[in-house]
Amino acid sequence: MDCMSEFTHFDESGASRMVDVGGKPVTHRTAVACGRIQMNPTTLEMIQSERAKKGDVLEVARLAGIMGAKRTGDLIPLCHPIGLDSVILDFAIEGGDTVVITAETQVQARTGIEMEAMTAVAVAALTIYDMCKAVDRSMTILDVKLLKKSGGKSGDYVRVSE
């Protein structure tokens, strides 16, 4: 079997294509993704105390992540543009040097929203970097990944703990 035929975004000849979802039923779909941004402890303290010159870093990152999720179809070439029903971003502190970003997306649609959840996390992390780079260029974005998804023909997925 040709390897390209196993990927839905390529046709039998290997040409790129947008998957036809027109015949799929509309179902409730959810996705949860997470990622981390690691930084100097003093940078994290600055974020937590809201002393950044550009404002409340996590609130700006939350808005950016939501906006990123909404624009995923514009960023990922073969991703269907879909109207999201809900995007929720949460932040948690891990140790003294890491912000954990979690995004949950929901929609009634013919196609999944895993890409929207992961894009929300990535854009939020990039926004944190952008807002804090003047004081810490060593920040590192890590482990953007899908944790779980539900809905659609392929059913549910839950990442096994690592």
Active-site positions read 130
Contacts of 40 (CB under 8 A, 6+ apart): 97, 136, 138, 139
Residues 8-62: tens digit of each pLDDT: 767 777 787 777 777 788 899 999 999 999 999 999 999 999 877 778 999 999 9
Quick check: helix, strand or coil at residue 42?
helix
Q: Which CATH superfamily is domain 37-151 in?
A: Molybdopterin cofactor biosynthesis C (MoaC) domain (3.30.70.640)
With residues binned 3-state (H G I as helix, E B as strand, rest as coil), the percentages for the chain, rounded to 5, are 30, 30, 40
Torsion over CA: 95, 96, 98, 102 (sign)? positive
Answer yes or no: is pLDDT of 85 > 90: yes
What integer pLDDT is reported at residue 57 of this predicted model?
A: 96
The mean pLDDT value of the chain amounts to 90
Please give the Cα distance from 143 to 116 (Å, whole number): 16
